[in-house]
Amino acid sequence: MSATARTVARGAPWGRAATILVPYLWLLLFFAAPFAIVAAISLGDYTPDTVPPVTLTWSGKAYALLVGDALYAAAYLNSLRIAAIATIVTLLIGYPMAYTIARAPAGWRGPLLMAVILPFWTSFLIRIYAWMGILSENGLLNQVLRGSGLVDDPGTLLGTEWAIYLGIAYAYLPFMVLPLYASLEKMDAALLEAAADLGARPWTAFRTVTLPLSLPGIVGGCLLVFIPAVGEFVIPDLLGGTGTLMIGKVLWDEFFSNGDWPMASAVAMAMLVVLVAPIVLFQRARARDLAGR
Amino acid sequence: MPALIRIEGVIRRFGDIVAVAGVDLDIQAGELFALLGGSGCGKTTLLRLLAGFEAPDEGRIVIDGVDMTGVPPYARPVNMMFQSYALFPHMSVARNVAYGLERERLPRAEIEARVAQVLDLVELGAHAGRKPHQLSGGQRQRVALARAIVKRPKVLLLDEPLAALDRKLRERTQLELVELQRRLGITFVMVTHDQDEAMTMATRIAVMDRGRIVQVGAPAEIYEQPVNRFVADFIGLANIFEGDIVGRSDGLLRIRCGPLGGEIAAPAVAGLAGGAVSLAIRPEKLSLRRDDAANTGGLAGHVRDVVYLGDESIFHVALQTGATVQVTRMNAQRRASAAITRGDAVRVTWADDAVVVMPQ
């Protein structure tokens, strides 16, 4: 017994240190280091003739251009707007889904949640391509609309902002449904009975009890959709067509079309700053939710 | 006077399980009525049927002359105090209590006045701004009570109102609830599995078993004249035997009962004239004496065990007839030197009217 105890006692500080070290190493290697590199590049000068096409200085010319050219501000605002609308659309679709799953018989909840997550088993890119097929001018949706005889000229959804909202709502739905489900599922059903008993009709009971109690889930789900949607590139590129200005696309163009590394890095840094506010909000909401319990 | 609550032939099934298997019951205005039974006897389902959370499969419920069939919970003149209290965790104490009044769209000033008044009544005026999770169990219980009575319902339904409190607090709260009920004049219908609680608080008790009401009556009636073995056994302690009616004399039944030493006398019961019956004798109605020259009556036996409870003791006596009976005795004297102890030879006696005769 004493031998074992001694081994454990000797091994413990090492084991503990290693356990704490692993996530820090990970963050250092895959977050802090790349972040520092991107920050350094963003401050450098664009030199198209060198490889890589950047000379490290502290000039910050890219930032001057970022502030000076209205295109970038417009792209950021447009991204925030599209992400916000798409988040609301996702919430409106996700809330009833999460509510239905949370109120389903216990044996049904697992399979229903599984069905929500199931599309993740197929590649994201392939699923967005599939939407192109559905939304294009002679795609599935228009064929059905024409075939039904209700609409002669349905127009084309592909290439509009609506296609982007649809794409984001579709792709990010699980991120909305899971936090909502978690907060709705733990709600005591007796609370709704108490509300009804005190004279609240079903809609009032929902508004005054269910909705406020699921607020942490709403905030969590919305931020989990909104934050990646702001920087989303694939969906606006494939479904939104050429007219849509989003910051993810601007970043792509700067990097791959123009080869302007400092500009692309500056765009990325600015995007991070834009998203810090909602991320801090998210963390604070989570902390409050944990403290409330 | 017509009953305030009239339950007529109510049946409620859940799949193959019949939770309430045909209940007829009248509850008068001003009563503190207890539904008493073990778990799964249907008492909570019956309460939920009154609140409107369940709908009867058959039969109907009438409250204050209005048929409640199809009336949703929010439109019924009843309020419920939940076993879990079901306080809204995101609202302060005052907002919890105000919730029901806000649904009636009363003027703000009136809501505030009534909330303050009812919080004073339950002595929580100082805690109006707290959230439920900042309160103790006893305080939460009183918030739940305040929220349920602030709407001045015709009937207050209480689902195991004191089950979550510790024993000392529970005993004090029992009397406070009775006092409150008298002051407000609201009819209380209470569900409990605790017979002491029902006996202490209720004006009438309905004993339930397997979805049916077995007996309805005042606490003393149910204790002294149980209608069958189940009730005699469920309420308090009872010595129960089987016997046969063999005749009548002087208004008393003559019953042959081997375990009680042959033929005994018992008060007549309407509807029982002959055949096999059950007999019950409460332990405090048996007397215990030392078996010596001065005491010769009754049945001889010896004390097999003594359970000391402080205020009283329970003696387990093995009779010479082969039966075992329980006898309780108040410990009126401190450590009496003449105390009967384990192994002593004793004689057990009782009065004729201590015997309760029940159909078998």
Q: What is the mean pLDDT of chain A?
A: 87
* B87 contacts on A by Cβ (under 8 Å): 194
- pLDDT value of position A10: 54
**Is any Cβ of chain B less than 8 angstroms from the Cβ of A48?**
no
Rounded Cα gap, residues A211 and A263, in angstroms: 44
Q: Which of B356, B348, B349 is nearest to B253 (CA)?
A: B356
Q: What are phi and psi of A59, to 5 degrees?
A: -65, -40
B209 lies in the same domain as B312: no
* Residue A150 pLDDT exceeds 80: no
- Count of the separate structural domains present in chain A: 1
* Residue A1 pLDDT exceeds 50: no
* Residue A3 pLDDT exceeds 60: no
- % of residues, chain B, pLDDT over 90: 73
B321 lies in the same domain as B197: no
- % of residues, chain B, pLDDT over 70: 98
Task: Identify whether A282 is part of a domain.
Answer: yes
- pLDDT value of position B338: 61
In which domain, by residue range, is A279 found? 65-292
B342 lies in the same domain as B216: no
Asked whether B57 and B11 are in contact (CB, 8 A), the reply is yes
Task: Identify whether B63 is part of a domain.
Answer: yes
- pLDDT value of position B1: 66
B83 lies in the same domain as B191: yes
The CATH number for A120's domain is: 1.10.3720.10
Contact assignment for A188 to B86 by CB distance below 8 Å: yes
Residue of A187, A198, A201, A211 best to disrupt the B interface, most CBs of B under 10 A: A198
Task: Identify whether A52 is part of a domain.
Answer: no
Task: Identify whether A100 is part of a domain.
Answer: yes
**Mean pLDDT (whole number) for B197-222:** 95
User: Which residue in chain B is spatially nearest to A191 when comparing CA positions?
Assistant: B86
Neighbouring C-alpha atoms within 13 Å toward the C-beta of B74 = 17
* B143 contacts on A by Cβ (under 8 Å): none
* Strands laid side by side in the B345-350 sheet: B286-290, B345-350, B299-308, B312-319, B324-330
Task: Identify whether A162 is part of a domain.
Answer: yes
Total CB pairs under 8 A between chain A and B: 57
**Is any Cβ of chain A less than 8 angstroms from the Cβ of B89?**
yes
pLDDT per position as a tens digit, A101-116: 999 999 999 999 999 9
Task: Identify whether A267 is part of a domain.
Answer: yes
Task: Identify whether B54 is part of a domain.
Answer: yes
Rounded Cα gap, residues A260 and A253, in angstroms: 9
Q: Which of residues 165-194 of B touch A (CB under 8 A)?
A: none
User: Which residue in chain B is spatially nearest to A201 when comparing CA positions?
Assistant: B74
- Which of B208, B224, B240 marks a domain boundary? B224
Task: Identify whether B39 is part of a domain.
Answer: yes
pLDDT per position as a tens digit, A79-103: 999 999 999 999 999 999 999 999 9
Rounded Cα gap, residues A251 and A233, in angstroms: 9
Residue of B49, B87, B88 best to disrupt the A interface, most CBs of A under 10 A: B88
B199 lies in the same domain as B54: yes
Task: Identify whether B37 is part of a domain.
Answer: yes
What is the crossing angle of helices A161-185 and A215-230, to 10°? 150
What element of type H or E holds A192? Answer: helix A189-197
**Is any Cβ of chain B less than 8 angstroms from the Cβ of A198?**
yes
Q: How far apart are the first and last CA of chain A?
A: 41
* Residue A185 pLDDT exceeds 80: yes
B220 lies in the same domain as B287: no
- pLDDT value of position B167: 86
In which domain, by residue range, is B56 found? 5-224
B156 lies in the same domain as B293: no
Nearest CA to CA, how far is B140 from chain A (Å)?
A: 14
B138 lies in the same domain as B9: yes
pLDDT per position as a tens digit, B124-153: 999 999 999 999 999 999 999 999 999 999
Q: Which of B37-46, B264-273, B338-347 has the highest mean pLDDT?
A: B37-46
The CATH number for B95's domain is: 3.40.50.300
B170 lies in the same domain as B294: no
Contact assignment for A193 to B90 by CB distance below 8 Å: no
- pLDDT value of position A285: 73
**Is any Cβ of chain B less than 8 angstroms from the Cβ of A209?**
yes
Q: What is the DSSP letter of B236?
A: S
**Is any Cβ of chain A less than 8 angstroms from the Cβ of B105?**
no
Distance of CA A14 to the CA centre of its chain: 38
- pLDDT value of position A180: 95
Compare CB distances from A198 to B72, B90, B100 and report the shortest one's residue. B100
B31 lies in the same domain as B170: yes
- pLDDT value of position B291: 81
Pairwise pLDDT comparison (B318 vs A156), residue with the higher score:
B318
**Is any Cβ of chain A less than 8 angstroms from the Cβ of B88?**
yes
* B52 contacts on A by Cβ (under 8 Å): 196
Task: Identify whether B276 is part of a domain.
Answer: no
- pLDDT value of position B346: 92
**E-assigned strand segments in B268-323:** 275-281, 286-290, 299-308, 312-319
**Is any Cβ of chain A less than 8 angstroms from the Cβ of B308?**
no
pLDDT per position as a tens digit, A32-78: 999 999 999 999 888 888 888 888 888 888 999 999 999 899 999 99
pLDDT class of A293 with cuts at 50, 70, 90: very low
Dihedral angle, C-alpha A280, A283, A285, A286, nearest 10 °: 180
- Count of the separate structural domains present in chain B: 2
Task: Identify whether B73 is part of a domain.
Answer: yes
Q: Which of A191-195, B196-200, B291-295 has the weakest average pLDDT?
A: B291-295
